[in-house]
Chain A
Amino acid sequence: MNKKVISTLVIGTLIAGTLAGCGGSSDAGSSAKSSSGKTELELFSTKPENKDTIQKLVDKYNESHDDVTVKVTAPPDAGTVLKTRMAKNDMPDIVAMGGDNNYTEVEGAGMLLDLGDQDYIKDVQEAYIDMIYDVNKDKEETIYGVPFATNASGVIYNTEKFEELGLEVPKTWDEFIDTLQKIQDAGEQPLLMTYKDAWTANAPWNSIAADLAPESFADDRKAGKTTFVGTHEEITEKYLTLLDYAQDDFMGLSYDDGNKKFANGDAVMIINGNWAISQYRNANPDVKINMFAFPSSNDESQNKVTSGVDVLLGVSKSSSNVDAAKDFVSFMMEKENVQTYIDEQFSFSALKGVEQSDEAVSGVQEDISNGKVANFEDHYYPSGFNMSVLLTELSLNRANGMDDKENIEQFLKQCDEKYDVANVD
């Protein structure tokens, strides 16, 4: 059985390698002229959810271009496959990936072209360009990846319940707690937490920490100049305060079950992102919801929408037809095509003037258009640092009745320890 574990590990990687091999074998990794004289480009997409929409846009491009054909590759476990192919010098021509630590590895290896001179860049919101700089290796201020689509996380609320209870959207932390208290007093469930799926425990943390952590924390922590202890006490305290308003079983409710419950009006608010909305609608097509930025602070100007780059586009240096690849990225960045993408994928646009019109997110669209956004805090943590495990431990201790002060102290110490273990390049 133990041999099985090891062999599974090894066979797993072998398979990953084989998959990557399959993907590139048709044209040896970079574009090539096919027999008909056409240029073939490979678009590697890491997000399985958007495969159909990407394919639709690619088809549109292929129909209008006789000399270029773009092919989409979207394998499972795409991040690992891409890194394997990178190691084999088998980069696809164009990548469509998240603005996360996978991107940092590809960019840091010097695989991508500078796209800063392209026409569409002036239409891209500065806030998202800054996020790309932030995830570039050594914070280099060069646009190796063009922000294409973005996401948003915050508080999602049931608008009908808000009306029923005569509530206003809270703008500050005190107002937020006041609202939660009013809902509780009215005998309704204020917040629904789904911490059985540990990643959802990151949602409130990402918002509070993005608003309240010292501005240079991410860099300083990486350099070892600061610690979680001493900077994140207030954030952790607020995080724990929220649990007072969660349902009793917040550690035992799964994401899927929680979404169904929320859609059916079991709670007034839930803290999550735009990606969950289609689930609410599936569970209850009539649910009336909206979203607001998480009000972490009493200073309204600090309360930003948590939003990151969901999809960015990059062109490989090793592509044999760089111009065609750049042309394809320009095509994707046309307003009409971005609109198609965000309408189908329920996400937001990094382009100025292209807006998500769905009412379920209308509460945050204005902030996003104005660039009042902050990136998910965990995008800045090292990839081996698993915050969600620490946060669920913190919450479990709270549920077990551990003293808050001791709990917070222990949690922050753990954060620093685990961060140091994971902080290796």
Chain B
Amino acid sequence: MKKAANRKRPAVNKVYYIYVGILAVLFFIFHTIPFLKGVFYSFTDWRGYGDWNFVGLRNYLHMFVDADTGNAYIFTFKFAVITTILVNVVSLVLACALNAKIKFKNTIKAFYFLPYMLGSLIVGFIFNYIFANLVPELGKALGIKALSVNILGTNNAMWGIIAVSLWIGCAFNTLIYIAGLQSIDTDVYEAANLDGATGFKRFSKITFPLLAPSFTINMVLSAKGYLMVYDQIMAMTDGGPGTATTSIAVLIYKKGFGGGQFAYQSANAVVLFIVVVLISVFQLRILEKREEKLG
């Protein structure tokens, strides 16, 4: 079959072109054009209504002296790095545990996957209640001062958001890791057993290297997702207290619409886009090299 296909180009059913064509047009109209328009407006002084003029690179240059934007980038990077690492560590542990021969495995897997099916806004609102009412009571009962007030109203608000992001994010990452684990040949483990590799050694020398493709996917997707964190923050702190949890996406939305800075925040969005692309490419390069080495 395969050889035949290589020798002569197979006739492709025209239906595929129609499918792809329709989608390409829709994608272009609803995704690419708005994106290009956003890039276009980032070179103007448009407030979201009324007249506008071209201002060249002014919006981009202003970003470097704007303290709000700087703080948002610092918060976002801190948040993204911590959350990406935590999510992957926890997911890996969970996946290994769920891959072991335990009872009710599938039921437990379903429980862990549940958060992924809830919208992050809803989860945010639920945790809002938990942080406002349940956690402080627990903190008071245990006499822990840091937990006896709503954590979202303190300097540690970021950790509240990290906890929620962890809860939501682990579901998907665990799933990818489980899939990766199941594709590892059991022969490898038997051989490792014979050679005396067990426990943590088996994990670090056998399991983790063989999970490299899953690890790459999870690291890249998590980092990208957390650099653009938005829903959880809007549901839980609205960027507060003060500006302590204002991520870049939140800043773009709030100032772009409420503050009449549509054009300037469009520029901010373009920069964020470039930053995310660069980080993703960088990660892919490094992680794929690692995969090759291990493979």
Report A's interface with B, CB cutoff 8 A: 1-3, 5-7, 9-13, 80, 83-84, 86-87, 195-198, 248-254, 257, 383-384, 386, 389-390, 392-393, 395-396, 399-400, 422
Contacts and interface: CB of A to CB of B under 8 A. Distances in A.
Contacts of A1: 224-225, 228, 276
A396 B244 contact: yes
A375 B241 CA distance: 26
A196 B269 contact: no
Interface in B224-239: 224-225, 228, 230, 237-238
Contacts of A86: 49
B30 A198 contact: no
B211 interface: no
Contact of B241 (A257, A386, A396): A396
Interface stretch (B33-41, B182-190, B191-199): B33-41
Contacts of B238: 197-198
B272 interface: yes
Contacts of B241: 195-196, 198, 251, 392-393, 395-396
Contact of A249 (B30, B35, B150): B150
A260 B39 CA distance: 46
22 contacts: A5-B272, A6-B37, A6-B39, A6-B273, A9-B256, A9-B265, A10-B37, A10-B38, A11-B30, A83-B49, A86-B49, A87-B49, A197-B238, A198-B238, A251-B150, A252-B136, A252-B153, A252-B154, A389-B242, A389-B243, A399-B154, A400-B154
B240 interface: yes
A383 B260 contact: yes
Contacts of B260: 383-384
Contacts, number: 133
B132 A252 contact: yes
Contact of A384 (B49, B228, B253, B259): B259
Contacts of A422: 259
A332 B128 CA distance: 43
Q: Do most interface residues of chain A lie in helix, strand or loop, or is the interface mixed?
A: helix
B269 to A, nearest CB: 5
A13 B38 CA distance: 11
Nearest to A198: B240
Given A251-B241, A393-B242, A80 B49 contact: yes
Nearest to B37: A10
Contact of A251 (B38, B153, B224, B225): B153
Nearest to A397: B242
B262 A6 contact: no
Contacts of A84: 49
A252 B50 contact: no
B149 A249 contact: yes
Contacts of B34: 3, 6-7, 10-11
B106 interface: no
B155 A7 contact: no
B242 A253 contact: no
Given A7-B34, A251-B241, A400 B273 contact: no
Given A1-B224, A10-B37, A196-B240, A396 B269 contact: no
Contacts of B150: 196, 249, 251-253
Contacts of B153: 195-196, 249-253, 396
Q: Which of A9, A249, A383, A396 has the most CB of B within 10 A?
A: A9
A424 to B, nearest CB: 9
Given A9-B265, A13-B48, A400 B272 contact: no
Contacts of A392: 240-242
Contacts of B31: 3, 7
Nearest to B230: A5
Given A1-B276, A198-B241, 14 more contacts: A1-B224, A2-B228, A2-B276, A13-B49, A13-B262, A195-B241, A196-B150, A198-B240, A249-B153, A251-B153, A383-B259, A396-B154, A396-B244, A422-B259
Nearest to B270: A6
Contacts of B50: 83, 87
B219 to A, nearest CB: 16
B35 A7 contact: yes
A10 B243 CA distance: 25
Nearest to B152: A252
